[in-house]
Amino acid sequence: MSASLETGINVLKEVIDAPIASYFASCVHCGMCAEACLFYTETGDPKYTPIHKLEPLRRIYKQEFTVLGRLAKLIGLSKAVTDDELEEWKELVYNSCTLCGRCSLICPVGNDIVYMVRKFREGMARAGHAPQDIVNATRRTIDIGSPMGVKLPAVKAQMGHLLAETGLEAPLDKEGAEYMVLLSSMEIINFPEYLAAIAKIMKQAGKTWTLCSTAFEATNSGIQVGVSDLAKVIVSRIVEGAERLKVKTVISPECGHAYTALRWDGANLIGRPYNFEVKHILEVLDEFRTQGLLKTEGMEEDRLTFHDPCQLVRRGGVIDQPRTLMNTVAKNFVEMPDPGKLNWCCGGGGGSSAIEDNKDLRLEVFKRKKSQFEAVKPDRVVTACANCRTTLEEGLEHYQMDIPVVGLTEVIAEHLAKPAQTKS
Ligand code: SF4
Ligand code: SF4
C-alpha cells in the first residue's frame, strides 16, 4: 500500500463519525436519491446514484465498524479499497457531484449525502485522488489569495473604474465600517457590475462599507477539494480582516459555496464563534427593503425567471428573499418548474466548473436546466451566484439559447430610485 493511500484510508476511517455510520446503517436502498440527482436523471447511468458515489466509504465503514464486515474482510469476501478504485471514484466524488443537496432533501430516512460526500473528499484529497484543477485553485488561494490568481491590484483597478464611471468610491480598509464586502474572483474579473451595484445601493441606504486589502476574496476551494486545514486558512483570513476592521457584518457575495463556507462551516473550522455577522447579499438587500432603505422605481417589462443557487436555497434557506426582491422590480417574474428548495443545480457547483475536462458531462446534465428554461421561456435569467451565472452562460451558449443571465443585485441597482425621489 502506498503511503498516500494509507494516509487517505486512515483519514476515511477517521471521518466515519456517528452521523455517517447512522446514514449507512439506515439506508433502505430505495433509490429515491437517484431520481433527485441530475447526473442520474440526465444520463440514466446508475453509477451516478448518489449513495453509490460513496461505495468505497461504505465498504470501509462495514469493514471497520460492523461485525459482519470485519468477518467478511477476514475471510477475503470483502476486498480492501485500492488506489485504482479511488482513482476510478474520483469522477463520482468530484466531477459528478456538485454538492447541490437535492438528494439529501429527498432521502426518506434523512441521509445527508452531501455531508458524506464532503467527508469522502477529505480522504480522497489526502490519498492524492482529488482533481488537479481544484487542487491548483486551492493552492493559488493559499499562495496568492484567490483561486483565479487575482491580486489586490486587480481589485484596485476595478475600484478605479468604478470611480471613473460612476463617481462613487469603493472604500478600502475603512475601520469601523458597518459592512465588509467580499467579492469572488469571477466578480472581479468577469462581473465588475456587482461592485458598482453595491456602491450604488450602499449610497442610497446610507450605510458605511469597506473592502479589505487582506481579505477581498470570498471563494473557498478548500471546502470543494475537501481539505479542512486549507479551508480553515482561507476562512481565517476573512475573520482576521473583519476583526481588524471592526466591522459588524461581512457580506458574502453572489457566490453559493462561499456563503456555505463562511456562514455555516467557518466558525467550526476556526474553532470559535465570530464576533461579527455573516449575511448573503440578498439577505442584506431584503433587510434594507424592510427597513425602507431600498427604494426602487420602474418595473422590468421583460419576462424574468430566477435560478436558485443550491447553496443558498437548499443549504442556506435563502428562499423568500430573492422572490420578494424579484417581485419588487419585475412585473413578469415567472417561476420555473420545481422552484425554490427543489430547484435543479446548474451543474457547475462543488468544484465541477473548475474541472477543465468535465465540460462534456456538465453540458450533458445541463439538459435539465434547459428543459426548465423551455418550460417558461424567459427573456432573461436572474441568479445570485457568479459560478451559476458562468455555468448557465456556458450551457445556454452550447444549446444555442439566446437568453442573457444577470445577477439580482445588479438588477436591483438598475432600479434604484433617483435621489430626488427618495426625499420623503
Ligand atoms: S434515498 Fe436515502 S435511503 Fe434511499 S437509497 Fe438513497 S440514501 Fe438510501
Ligand atoms: S449532492 Fe446533488 S449532485 Fe451530488 S449526488 Fe446529491 S443530487 Fe447528485
- Render pLDDT for 204-221 as a digit per residue (tens, 0 to 9): 999 999 999 999 999 888
3-state secondary structure of 224: helix
Q: Nearest C-alpha to atom 2 of ligand 2 is from which residue?
A: 100
Average pLDDT score, the chain: 93
Average pLDDT (160-165) is: 95
Q: Nearest C-alpha to atom 6 of ligand 1 is from which residue?
A: 33
Task: Give the model confidence (pLDDT) of 266-282 as tens digits.
Answer: 999 999 999 999 999 99
What share of the chain has pLDDT > 90, as a percent? 77
How far, in Å, from the CA of 111 to the mean position of ligand 1?
7
Dist CA 386 CA 309 (whole Å): 10
pLDDT-derived band of residue 78, with 50, 70 and 90 as boundaries? Answer: confident
Q: Nearest C-alpha to atom 5 of ligand 2 is from which residue?
A: 50
Q: Report the pLDDT value the prediction gives residue 420, as an integer from 0 to 100.
A: 66
Q: What's the Cα-to-Cα distance from 360 to each of 5, 95, 130, 347, 356, rounded to whole Å?
A: 29, 11, 19, 11, 10
Read off the C-alpha cell for 141. Answer: 488561494
pLDDT-derived band of residue 310, with 50, 70 and 90 as boundaries? Answer: very high
Average pLDDT (177-186) is: 94
- 252: phi then psi, degrees, rounded to nearest 5: -75, 135
Q: Report the pLDDT value the prediction gives residue 278, as an integer from 0 to 100.
A: 97
Tell me whether strands 300-306 and 380-383 are parallel, antiparallel or unpaired.
parallel
Cβ–ligand 2 distance for 34 under 6 Å, the answer no
Considering every ligand atom shown, identify the ligand nearest to the alpha carbon of residue 106 and give its number.
1
Cβ–ligand 2 distance for 50 under 6 Å, the answer yes
Which residues are CB-neighbours of 212 under 8 A, at least 6 positions away?
172, 173, 180, 182, 238, 241, 242, 244, 245
Dist CA 243 CA 239 (whole Å): 6
Residue to substitute in 98, 111, 353 for testing ligand 2 pocket (most ligand atoms within 8 angstroms of CB)? 98
How far, in Å, from the CA of 266 to the mean position of ligand 1?
29
Considering every ligand atom shown, identify the ligand nearest to the alpha carbon of residue 104 and give its number.
2
In angstroms, how far apart are the furthest CA atoms of the chain? 82
Residue to substitute in 51, 58, 113, 120 for testing ligand 1 pocket (most ligand atoms within 8 angstroms of CB)? 51
Residue 113 CA, closest ligand 1 atom number: 7
- Which of 142 and 307 is assigned the larger pLDDT? 307
**What's the predicted TM-score (pTM) here?**
0.93
Which of 22-36, 214-228, 366-380 has the least mean pLDDT?
214-228
Residue to substitute in 27, 32, 35, 39 for testing ligand 2 pocket (most ligand atoms within 8 angstroms of CB)? 39
3-state secondary structure of 380: strand
Is the pLDDT reported for residue 421 higher than 60? Answer: no
- 170: phi then psi, degrees, rounded to nearest 5: -100, 110
How far, in Å, from the CA of 329 to the mean position of ligand 2?
33
Considering every ligand atom shown, identify the ligand nearest to the alpha carbon of residue 50 and give its number.
2
pLDDT-derived band of residue 424, with 50, 70 and 90 as boundaries? Answer: very low
Which residues are CB-neighbours of 226 under 8 A, at least 6 positions away?
118, 119, 120, 121, 122, 123, 124, 125, 130
Average pLDDT (76-105) is: 93
In this structure, the dihedral spanned by the alpha carbons of residues 351, 396, 329 and 333, taken in order and rounded to 10 degrees, is: -110
Q: Report the pLDDT value the prediction gives residue 326, as an integer from 0 to 100.
A: 98
Is the pLDDT reported for residue 70 higher than 80? Answer: yes
Ligand 1 environment, Cβ below 6 A: 27-33, 51, 107, 109, 111
Considering every ligand atom shown, identify the ligand nearest to the alpha carbon of residue 51 and give its number.
1
Considering every ligand atom shown, identify the ligand nearest to the alpha carbon of residue 365 and give its number.
2
Average pLDDT (146-152) is: 84
How far, in Å, from the CA of 86 to the mean position of ligand 1?
22
How far, in Å, from the CA of 330 to the mean position of ligand 2?
31
**How wide is the angle at C-alpha 331 spanned by C-alphas 327 and 336, nearest 5°?**
70
Q: Nearest C-alpha to atom 4 of ligand 2 is from which residue?
A: 97
Cβ–ligand 2 distance for 102 under 6 Å, the answer yes
Q: Report the pLDDT value the prediction gives residue 5, as an integer from 0 to 100.
A: 81
Task: Give the model confidence (pLDDT) of 220-263 as tens digits.
Answer: 888 888 888 888 999 999 999 999 999 999 999 998 889 999 99
Average pLDDT (10-25) is: 92
Is the pLDDT reported for residue 159 higher than 50? Answer: yes
Task: Give the model confidence (pLDDT) of 325-339 as tens digits.
Answer: 999 999 999 999 999
Task: Give the model confidence (pLDDT) of 280-297 as tens digits.
Answer: 999 999 999 999 999 999
Residue to substitute in 109, 112, 114, 115 for testing ligand 1 pocket (most ligand atoms within 8 angstroms of CB)? 109
